[in-house]
């Protein structure tokens, strides 16, 4: 059975599931929905049209669903949707969408957002991602599944990061990162495959295939698009995903130049 601390404020209209715990001095506004077995720490603010799934842990002083930090926002009805089994640590800030970006921010399932993480308007986060302390996602950023963002790392607006990619800590990323790759630096550039993440997720044969495809696509910058086009219909799903990501990138791929 859940508990709501007597100092917490839950506005009329808020939908609170079974076995939800809400800590001292927290505030839940009227358009919020919180799923079963979720715990809300003390001094937490959850507002706006925010839907939170089941089995989430939201720690103290998080701010979830406050209006977008976008000067164009003028009170439109926008949403934040959070899935199941996420851990949202202390002082994290998550904003809903904006009209210009589809009106919704979405966070999937099984993610860990460490302290002081910021998820801006219209961001899409997949499943099982880890954002370390102080990671900052600007508006319209998209993360695939299993992405790892190191601490104190800002991600430029509209950047896309593919499945099982990693951005090293204290980097600054302004271009897209293909699936399965590792980037590092300011500005962050490709340094190789995210081998640690890959070894946890896929078998050795597929990793070896990806190593060959990575060399074909990225060792010579001038051949990247050509090689990606040649590999876009590969029978290997991982190579196919990587090649098509490159071909569909709008911000460009974070490739090392000769001076990097």
Q: How far apart are CA 19 and CA 27, in angstroms?
A: 18
β-strands 136-137, 118-119 pairing: parallel
Element (H, E) at 207: helix 204-218
Q: Quickly tell me which residue has 């709008």 as its tokens.
A: 250
Decide: 180 and 165 in contact? Cβ < 8 Å.
yes
CA-closest candidate to residue 147, choices 201, 83, 73, 186: 201
Q: How far apart are CA 87 and CA 70, in angstroms?
A: 26
CA-closest candidate to residue 125, choices 111, 104, 139: 111
Q: How far apart are CA 72 and CA 76, in angstroms?
A: 10
| Catalytic residue annotation | 121-122, 139
Residue 251 vs residues 7, 14, 43, 193: alpha-carbon distances, Å: 47, 40, 39, 20
Alpha helices, H only, 38-94: none
Decide: 165 and 181 in contact? Cβ < 8 Å.
yes
């Amino acid at each position: 059975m859940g508990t709501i601390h007597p100092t917490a404020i839950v506005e009329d209209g808020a939908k609170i599931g079974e076995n939800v715990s809400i800590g001292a001095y927290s505030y839940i506004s009227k358009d919020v929905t919180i799923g079963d077995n979720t715990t809300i720490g003390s001094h937490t603010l959850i507002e706006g049209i925010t839907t939170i799934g089941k089995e989430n842990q939201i720690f103290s002083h998080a701010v979830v669903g406050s209006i977008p930090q976008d000067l164009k926002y003028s009170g439109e009805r926008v949403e934040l949707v959070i899935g199941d089994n996420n851990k949202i640590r202390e002082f994290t800030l998550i904003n809903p969408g904006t009209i210009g970006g589809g009106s919704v921010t979405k966070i999937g399932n099984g993610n860990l957002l460490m302290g002081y993480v910021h998820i801006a308007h219209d961001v899409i986060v997949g499943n099982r991602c880890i954002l370390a302390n102080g990671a900052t996602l600007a508006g319209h950023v998209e993360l695939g599944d299993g992405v790892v963002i190191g601490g104190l790392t800002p991600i430029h607006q509209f950047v896309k990061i593919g499945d099982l990619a990693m951005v090293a800590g204290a980097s600054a990323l302004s271009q897209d990162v293909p699936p399965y790759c590792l980037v590092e630096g300011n500005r962050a550039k490709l340094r190789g495959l995210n081998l640690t993440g890959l070894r946890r997720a896929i078998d050795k044969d597929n990793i070896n295939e990806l190593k060959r495809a990575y060399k074909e696509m990225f060792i010579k910058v001038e051949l990247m698009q050509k090689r990606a086009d040649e590999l876009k219909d590969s029978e290997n799903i991982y190579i196919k995903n990587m090649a098509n990501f490159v071909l569909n990138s709008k911000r460009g791929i974070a490739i090392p130049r000769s001076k990097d």
